[in-house]
Amino acid sequence: MVLHSRSTIYQLAGQGMTMIRKLILGTASVLALGIGGAALDFAADADDVPNVTGNMPAASGTSHPWINAANLSKDDIRWAQVELRTLGLYNGSLDGVMGPDTKQAILGFQESNGLEATATLDQQTAD
């Protein structure tokens, strides 16, 4: 039988409490990140949800009303690259850059779908 002094017992209890605190903090962090991630995911899909005043996006009847061919963001281009990759038309990097491979894939998509072959990401191509 091993006897411990009071200071050793308090030390061991203190270490146990520290570990419990770390476990609680870690769990709370994971939960917070999960809830925050879910909120961001919902916000990313918010264009399909009416806003506070009940209005729908301006280009009703179109599935991607945010496409502005004159001012494409990297996210617009990356979205197109992902869609084109899903269709098997694009094998390049998902970098959000309108490079030659992306233009070629868009052109192929337009031609195979009877759209005007412009090799640009316009509203008609996005829909």
User: What does the H/E/C string look like for 14-59?
Assistant: HHHHHHHHHHHHHHHHHHHHHHHHHHHHHHHCHHHCCCCCCCCCCC
**Are residues 38 and 79 both part of a single domain?**
no
53 domain residue, yes or no: no
In the chain, the percentage of residues whose pLDDT exceeds 70 is 61
Q: Does 110 map to a domain? A: yes
pLDDT in tens, 9-31: 666 666 777 888 788 887 877 77
In a domain, 38, yes or no: yes
78 and 122 both lie in a single domain: yes
Q: Say if residues 64 and 48 touch (Cβ distance below 8 Å).
A: no
Confidence of residue 2 (pLDDT cuts 50, 70, 90): low
Render pLDDT for 42-71 as a digit per residue (tens, 0 to 9). Answer: 555 544 444 444 443 444 444 555 677 778
Taking each helix axis from N to C end, the angle separating 74-86 and 100-112, rounded to the nearest 10 degrees, works out to 60
Look at 11 and 98; give whichever has higher pLDDT: 98
Domain that holds residue 28: 6-44
Would you say residue 113 lies in a domain?
A: yes
96 in the Ramachandran plot: left (φ > 0), alpha (ψ -120 to 50) or beta? Answer: left
Higher pLDDT, 67 or 122: 122
Same domain, 122 and 81: yes
Domain annotation covers residue 100: yes
Q: Are residues 40 and 78 in the same domain?
A: no
pLDDT at 66: 67
Asked if residue 79 and residue 120 are part of one domain, the reply reads: yes
Q: Is residue 91 part of a domain?
A: yes
pLDDT averaged over the chain? 75
pTM over 0.75, yes/no: no
| Count of domains observed in the chain | 2
For residue 100, the model assigns a pLDDT of: 95
78 is a domain residue: yes
pLDDT at 65: 59
